[in-house]
Structure 1
């Protein structure tokens, strides 16, 4: 690979002169700069981005770290992030897996937006202590170099649970996310708070994993528990993926069960597929694009040394096109 040393040797100038010329510095005359650029082009010189970032201490690249890429959730989130970063002159890379964490200490990126369970909180604090700028979407951390942009999980879960109770249901099921999920823990706490203050309501918690297959398994368990749906029940799935899995299972195995009457299902996230269920899934809605945009904005502020406050993404209940009734 051609280096600036090779250009300097052929041009008969110092390495620093080549560096100044390649970066458009006025310290080098127009004639010398033109000659150096011509030599660089003839030698097919490609700048070393790693070396340049060490000198400038910036890459103009932001990393978004995700636990995985499965499901229909991430598209709008990443689109909102990308649009804002592009406006600010930054590029975006999406990462997953523990090996990618080294991009922070090796300063291959200028900062990170994290929605990734494989990132330990202590690990993030250690990076922040070394000056790295982080925005977290999946936990609460207190550090001047870390900003939080979190969903209002508790408000959403309360809206969902109260809605099911208002429909007359007294037998409730909650299908959670994976055990390590911050969002799932917050939602479960809120569900339990509503149930504890409402007399005559029973709650059964079924552990899920935010995937359709977990919804299918939960539906099978609920059908067995309610004698094939003859006992009216209501289910709050902690995301739409699992709710759709539940719809699929019931349609394929219990077509006689009327969703919205014998069993009422509420999801969370309002993904696009939720609009195609029959009946239309009731779900907790919020702007995933705005969530990503806020995260990007907050991170750029951190990088620029601006003062930032934590942000919260507010949610609403989006009712489906049927009304259930249970006793």
Structure 2
């Protein structure tokens, strides 16, 4: 592999001159710059990213940890992260945690050892679990995204899940539903609990009772929604409508309903959460709460870059607001 010394020898200049031309750190006459660039091309010279990163104390690389899941929600967020990194001239190293705390900690340690400039966390952890790995790398900025673990000093990019749960339930009430149930994600996770609390508050504000037989805790996966539907049916009665904590579980519920010949929305209305792309292609197309997934990824990258430019700035919490997407899975009882 060619070095700057090789270029200098071929171009008949000093190594420092070659460095200035390659790195554009000082003015060099056009005639000398042309000779240096021609020599570099002849020798197929490629600048060393490692050497440059050591010199600048920057690798132009960000790390991201994400929980592996069949849920395309995570993939849509990663798309926003990757595109934002590309536009900002950064590379991205992506690690999956498989939902395992030990693997999450090992991946964090690996990324920090690889000298990433900043780190984004979007991986589930036990409620209240605090990561201490960052204490050894106090200069590495961290952004905790939606679904992230607890990190003492970090920016946080969050979906307003409480508001989203409230909006979903309020929409069902406005459509004339009074017997309303809820299928939640694991209530040990902040987002699942917040959505459920929004559901409870909307019922309370409308002076409607919460039927505990119609509240089922599940796992945010299709299989969980499928099993929750069977459990709901086994309770002996069905509500007229359900707020389902994410679109993946709603998909599983639609599958179970079709299998049991229960018509949606004629016999049971469903509203989901996330607005994953496939939601519009379900049968029926799913009414849901939209999370701004691309903006979530973009905001995380931007927050890291701000922190790199201003290392001593105070940690910030950026909350993205959900919106309602109305399709055909909710029956209007007032029409």
Give the TM-score band, short-chain normalised: 0.7 to 0.9
1:185 matches 2:193: yes
Q: Are the aligned partners of 1:82 and 1:92 in contact in 2 as well (CA < 8 Å)?
A: yes
1:130 matches 2:135: no
**How big is each residue's C-alpha offset from its partner over 1:36-56, in whole Å with a ceiling of 9 and x where there is no partner?**
666655554443322321221
Q: 1:45 to 1:222 in 2, by over 3 A?
A: same
Which of 290, 307, 312 lines up with 2:319 in the alignment? 312
Tell me which residue corresponds to 1:221.
Answer: 231
1:112 matches 2:112: no
- Structure 2 stretches lacking a partner, 5+ long: 98-103
Deviation larger for 300-309 or 55-64: 300-309
Deviation larger for 299-308 or 2-11: 2-11
1:271 matches 2:284: no
Q: 1:90 to 1:274 in 2, by over 3 A?
A: same
Secondary structure at 1:105 match in 2: helix
**How big is each residue's C-alpha offset from its partner over 1:181-222, in whole Å with a ceiling of 9 and x where there is no partner?**
332122223334445664433134323222211111111111
Q: How much does 1:59 deviate? A: 1.9
Q: 1:5 to 1:102 in 2, by over 3 A?
A: farther
Tell me which residue corresponds to 1:91.
Answer: 91
Deviation larger for 297-306 or 185-194: 185-194
1:64 matches 2:64: yes
Q: 1:223 to 1:312 in 2, by over 3 A?
A: same
User: What is the CA–CA distance in structure 2 between the aligned matches of 1:168 and 1:216, rounded to whole Å?
Assistant: 23
Alignment of structure 1 residues 236-315 onto 2, 5 Å: 236-251=243-258, 253-255=259-261, 257-305=262-310, 307=313, 309-315=316-322
Tell me the TM-score normalized by structure 1.
0.79
RMSD value, Cα: 3.5
